[in-house]
Amino acid sequence: MERASNQSEIARLLNQIETEYISATRGISGLKARGINAAATTNIGAFLHQMQLQHTQTKILMLPLGSWGKRLGSLLATDMSEAFKGMKSLFVQEPGIDPQRYQTVVSSLTAEWNAHQTQFDFFLASGQRQL
Could you please report the per-residue DSSP string of 69-113?
Answer: GHHHHHHHHHHHHHHHHHTHHHHHHSS---HHHHHHHHHHHHHHH
| Alpha carbons 115 and 41: distance in angstroms, whole number | 27
Confidence grade of residue 28 (pLDDT, cut at 50, 70, 90): very low
% of the chain exceeding 90 in pLDDT: 43
pLDDT above 70: residue 29 = no
Query: Strand, coil or helix: what is 54?
Result: strand
The full set of domain ranges for the chain reads 2-128
Query: Strand, coil or helix: what is 20?
Result: helix
Query: Strand, coil or helix: what is 5?
Result: helix
pLDDT tens digits for range 76-113 = 999 999 998 988 887 777 666 788 888 988 999 999 99
**What is the β-pairing status of strands 119-128 and 54-64?**
antiparallel
Query: Strand, coil or helix: what is 126?
Result: strand
Report how far apart, in Å, the C-alpha atoms of 111 and of each of 16, 35, 36, 80, 93 are. 19, 31, 27, 13, 26
